[in-house]
Each structure stands twice: as C-alpha cells, then as structure tokens.
Amino acid sequence: MSPSQTRTGIQVIRPGLAEIRSGLPYPRLRADYLIAETKAFALNPTDNHHIDSLAGMGPIIGCDWSGIVREVGDNVTRFKPGDVVFGGSHGGNSVEPEDGAFSDIITGKEHATMHKPEFLSFEEAASLGVGLATVGQVLYPVMKLPLPSPDIPANSGPTLLVYGGSSATGTIAIQAAKLSGCRVFATCSAANSELVQSRGAEKWFEYHQSDFIEQIEAVGLAITHIVDCIGTEESGFHCSKILASTGGHYHSIKVPVPESFKRARPEESAVATTALGYTMFGERFEFPGVAEFPADPAMEAFAKKWVLIAERLVQTRRIQPHPVEIRDGGLVKLLDSLQEIRTQPPRGRKIVYSQA
Ligand SMILES: NC(=O)c1ccc[n+]([C@@H]2O[C@H](COP(=O)([O-])OP(=O)(O)OC[C@H]3O[C@@H](n4cnc5c(N)ncnc54)[C@H](OP(=O)(O)O)[C@@H]3O)[C@@H](O)[C@H]2O)c1
C-alpha cells in the first residue's frame, strides 16, 4: 500500500446527511483485521439509523459487503491477499469511524469475514454478513438453541415462529432454526409465501388478515420461541398473543423490546430479549450522546465460533442468501437507494449494489 493512497466512501457529514467523499484516508491495518477491495454492497435499515442519529459525524457507513482481500493484519490466520470473501462490518462506528463497508477499500474483522463460495455471486454473498451474525446471536447465545448439526433430527426441537419471515433476517433465521431442529412457522405477505416455504417454514400466516392469530392457534402447537424481525408495537402485541400461554422466549431483533409485548406478557415465564449485533465485534462502541456499550468478550468468543459454522453452512448450501435485487451505479446510486428504503422498504429481497 502506498502511504499516499486514499479511498472513496459514504461518510456521515452530520446527523441526517451522508455524502460520498473521495480522498478519505486508507484504513489502518489492525492486527485482527484485513483490508479488502470491495465488489458489492448490500443495504440494511441500520444504515439509515446511523446516518440519522447513531453515528455522530465522520464515520463511514455500511455493514454488508463482499470483495477481495488485499492485506491481512498480524493476527489474521484464515485469510491471505487475493482471497475472495464477504462479511459484515460495523458501519457508522463512532469509535472506529473507518470501519464502514460502503467504500472502495474497506477494513473487515477476521471473525466477521467468510470465504465466498464460487457458486455465489459477489452480490449474493454481500447480502449475507449482517443476517448471519444477527441470526447466530439470537438463536444461540440468546435463545440457547443447539448449534446447527446434521445430527439433530428434524422437528425434534422447539416450535419457533419467525415474525417477518420474509425479511432479510427472517429468511436466514428460518433456515438456521430448521438446522437446529426447530419446527418453524413464519408470518409474511402472501406474495412472499413461496420464499419463506422455500427456506423451510412449515406453514406461513398472512399477518394482514384480521384472524391470522386464530389461524396460528388452530395449528394447535405451543409456539415457545419467537424471533420478531419487525419489532414494532404492533408486532410485539401480535407476538404476545402468539407465544404459548405457558411462556417461552420472545426476541425482538429491533431494539428495544416493544412495550406492547412486555405489557401483555409481564410474567417471568415469558422471556423477552433484544440484542445488538455490533456486540459480536467484541469492541467497545457508542451511539454518541445516546448510549455506550462496553466490549463483550463472551459475545466475541461466540462470534469467532459462529463465523466458522456460518461459513460452512453457506458453502454447503444449507443456508441460502435472501433474494437480491442487483442495482448498478455503485456508491452514488446506493446513496439514492438509502433514501428510497426510508419510505419504500424492500419486500422479500435485499437491495445490492455492484461496485461501479
Ligand atoms: N439487532 C440487530 O443487530 C439487528 C440486525 C439486523 C437488523 N436489525 C433490525 O431488524 C429489522 C429487520 O431488518 P431486515 O433487514 O431483516 O428487514 P427487511 O428485509 O427490510 O424487512 C422487510 C420485510 O419486513 C416485512 N414487513 C414490513 N413491514 C411489516 C409490518 N408492519 N409487519 C410485519 N412485517 C412487515 C415485509 O414482509 P412482507 O413483504 O412479506 O409483508 C418485508 O419483506 C430492522 O429494524 C433492522 O434495523 C437489527
């Protein structure tokens, strides 16, 4: 790397405004990190949260990426220059502003990076990093389900509903929960019913129908685990009705846990949790002026284990990516799409940009 080399990326200029800036400093090569040339990026709702309020000024945003390794830090053992990879980065990180993924050259942590199989395009692979990390965190250290294994008989585990089964997180949650032996059900719109079934949902429920909760009850199974990928007051209320009367574990992917769930299910047997995927990096971070989060070594230890399992599940096609909508125009157009998803969130697909 030439010391004079710079890069181009999407940077938070001030809360509410992100712009493309060239001439940004080349990232530091930290011991547990690699530096990669990006090939594709995927959008996440959190990218806008960072722009609006969570990043302060200066950080590069973006979490999902794929690319080719250029350099590796001293502690990196699983990658070498030239490796074709994908991963999840801590975009909008006010403590390490250079960590975001929406840049031509990025830095990624080894334990949040995976080898890309040849059968996946860069665009498909770019859609996976955040979803895999989020689902791993929810199902295993939080819900304490058994890790995916071919030794687990199908349908031998708890009955789990993915609320928002057609979301990018939801389709991965369905697949991982199946591999952990769960019977899996999902809510989604009719238009996405084939998608959730193709990923392993035994039955789907159209949440727009006024009697969909009665339809779930009619299945006659106690749903003891719910992964709520929507996390609104409405979804929390619906999930409070769906969780078995004897209790169980409700997890809202969106932080915080909706009050509606806690109000309706205050009993101890109805466990309600939420978690931030950023804790998987094992480093201290902040939402400036809002909250500080100490490093979480236990979550980092899990992430190091999970990344190997997740990589294998992708390489053996046991976890498939969410459907992708590939758009051209690189970072310039990506910025426009971030505006678009504020009012028109993607449904049953993830918006992905190829590097221009
Ligand atoms: N805690 C963490 O670390 C973490 C990590 C990742 C994501 N998240 C959060 O998790 C949420 C989901 O992210 P994502 O990227 O997976 O979402 P996404 O793919 O953008 O979700 C879109 C899907 O949500 C469904 N949906 C939209 N509005 C709904 C509603 N009112 N009720 C029920 N379903 C609805 C739609 O289903 P249909 O089209 O089938 O109706 C659509 O397919 C976001 O809030 C995100 O910020 C948190």
Instruction: Write out pLDDT tens, residues 55-93.
Output: 788 999 999 999 999 999 999 999 999 999 999 999 999
140 SS3 class? helix
| One domain for residues 298 and 204 | no
pLDDT per residue as tens digits for the range 12-42: 999 999 999 999 999 999 999 999 999 999 9
Instruction: Tell me how far apart the alpha carbons of residues 220 and 235 are, in angstroms, rounded to a whole number.
Output: 21
Q: Give the Å distance between the CA of 72 and the centre of ligand 1.
A: 34
Which atom of ligand 1 is nearest to 46's Cα? 47
Q: Could you say which of 275, 302, 331 is where a domain stops?
A: 275
Q: Are residues 148 and 257 in the same domain?
A: yes
Residue-level pLDDT at 4: 63
Give a yes or no: residue 1 inside a domain.
no
| Domain-located, residue 144 | yes
Residues 6+ positions from 83 with CB-CB distance below 8 Å: 68, 69, 115
Does pLDDT of 192 surpass 90?
yes
Question: d(Cα 169, Cα 133) in Å, to the nearest integer?
Answer: 10
Atom of ligand 1 nearest to the CA of 189: 40
* Residue 220: φ, ψ to 5°: 80, 20
- For residue 17 the two structure tokens come to 């405004």
Cα 22 to ligand 1 centre (Å):
32
pLDDT tier at 305, thresholds 50, 70, 90? very high
Q: Which ligand 1 atom is nearest residue 350's CA?
A: 19
Q: For ligand 1, atom 29, which residue shows the shortest CA distance?
A: 230
**Ligand 1 center from residue 170 Cα (angstroms):** 8
CATH number of the domain residue 21 falls in? 3.90.180.10
SS3 at position 87: strand
d(CA 335, CA 109): 24
Ligand 1 centroid to Cα of residue 354, in Å, is 23
In a domain, 29, yes or no: yes
How would residue 2 be classed by pLDDT, with cut points 50, 70 and 90?
Answer: low
* Alpha carbon of 227 to ligand 1 centroid (Å): 11
Q: Are strands 183-188 and 159-163 parallel, antiparallel or unpaired?
A: parallel
The number of the ligand 1 atom at minimal distance from the alpha carbon of 341 is: 20
Chain-centre distance for alpha carbon 260: 24
Residues with Cβ within 8 Å of residue 307, at least 6 apart in sequence: 111, 112, 113, 114
> Which residue's CA is the closest to the ligand 1 atom numbered 46?
45
pLDDT bin (cut points 50, 70, 90) of residue 53 is confident
Residues 119 and 166 in one domain: no
C-alpha 3 to ligand 1 mean position (Å): 41
pLDDT over 60 (residue 165): yes
In a domain, residue 199? The reply is yes
Pocket of ligand 1 (CB under 6 A): 44-46, 130, 134, 164, 166-169, 188-189, 192, 207, 229-232, 235, 253-255, 275-277, 345-348
Q: Whose CA is closest to atom 12 on ligand 1?
A: 229
pLDDT band at 356 (very low <50, low <70, confident <90, very high): confident
pLDDT in tens, 239-277: 999 999 999 999 999 999 999 999 999 999 999 999 999
Residue 36 sits in the same domain as residue 92? yes
Residue 41 is predicted with a pLDDT of 98
Identify the CATH number of the domain in which residue 195 sits.
3.40.50.720
Which residue has a Cα nearest atom 21 of ligand 1? 167
Strands 159-163 and 33-42: unpaired
CA torsion sign for 149, 151, 154, 157 is negative
Mean pLDDT taken over the chain = 96
Give residue 1's pLDDT: 54
Specify the pairing of strand 285-287 against strand 105-109. Answer: unpaired
Q: Is there a single domain that holds both residue 41 and residue 149?
A: no
The more confidently predicted of residues 4 and 232 is 232
Residue 138 resides in a domain: yes
Boundary-marking domain end, from 275, 292, 307: 275
DSSP 200: T
Note whether 30 and 139 are same-domain residues.
no
Type of residue found at 160: L
293 belongs to a structural domain:
yes
Long-range contacts of 220-223 (CB under 8 A, 24+ apart): 221/159, 221/183, 222/159, 222/246, 222/248, 223/159, 223/160, 223/161, 223/185, 223/248
Residue 3: cis peptide before it, omega within 30 degrees of 0: no
Q: Say if residues 185 and 163 touch (Cβ distance below 8 Å).
A: no
* pLDDT surpassing 90 at residue 54: no
Residue 235 CA: nearest ligand 1 atom is 32
Residue-number span of the structural domain to which 86 is assigned: 6-128+280-354
Does some domain include residue 101?
yes
Q: Tell which of 218, 250, 275 closes a domain.
A: 275
Do 162 and 174 touch, CB atoms closer than 8 A? yes
Number of domains the chain contains? 2
Strand ranges for the chain from DSSP E: 6-14, 17-25, 33-42, 64-72, 84-88, 105-109, 113-115, 159-163, 183-188, 203-206, 225-228, 248-252, 270-274, 285-287, 291-293, 324-327, 350-354
User: What confidence category does residue 204 fall into, taking pLDDT thresholds of 50, 70 and 90?
Assistant: very high
The reported pLDDT for the residue numbered 3 is 52
pLDDT at 22: 96
